[in-house]
Amino acid sequence: MVREILFREAQSGLSARAVALPDKAPQSCEFLGDLLSGGPVAIPSLHAMWTGPEISCPLPEAEIPAGWAHAVLPPENATMFPAAGDVILAYVPPRAWGGVPHAIFDIGLFYAPGGRLLLPVGWVAGSLVAQVVPEDLADLRRACEEIRRTGACTVTVEALA
C-alpha cells in the first residue's frame, strides 16, 4: 500500500510530498497503490473551475487500474470542504457526469483555503486520501498559483519508498 506520494510538474516547479492516510481511507489508498504500482503516472491536469484552489488531475480512462474500472469507490474520510494541502480522490459513477460512460476518478490537489466539492452534478463527497507535508505547503501554493496563471499542465504522481 502506498504511504507517501510525490506530485511534480516541471513548468511551475511543483514538487510536493503527501502522506497517505490508509487507516482513514483504506480502499482509496489501495486504489492509489494500484495506480502507482507500475511507476510514475503522468496525468493531464488543470486548475479547477468550480472547486476553488485545486489542481484537478482526472485520470484518463486508460490509466484506471485493472479491476477498478467497474468498481464503486465509496467516500472514505469524506469531505466536501478540502483544506490547503488535502489530497482528495473523487469518484463519480458512470453516466453521472454528462453521460460519460465510464467512472471518473479525479485526484484533487488543494493548495489554499476555500476548497469546496460543488460540481455541476451537485455536491460530491471526496475521500481525503493524503495530506501534503507541512514543509511543502508554501511551495505547493506558489506552484499551483503558477499553474492557475499558465493553464493546463501534466502532473506526475509517484509513490515514494
Candidates 137, 135, 67, 69; CA nearest to 109 is 137
Cβ-contact 158, 37 below 8 angstroms: no
pLDDT, tens digit (0-9, with 9 covering 90-100), for 93-148? 998 888 888 889 999 999 999 999 998 888 999 999 999 999 999 999 999 999 99
Range of the domain at 99: 4-160
Residue 31 — very low, low, confident or very high, per pLDDT cuts 50/70/90? very high
CATH number of the domain enclosing 68: 2.40.100.20
> pTM for this one?
0.96
Number of domains into which the chain is organized: 1
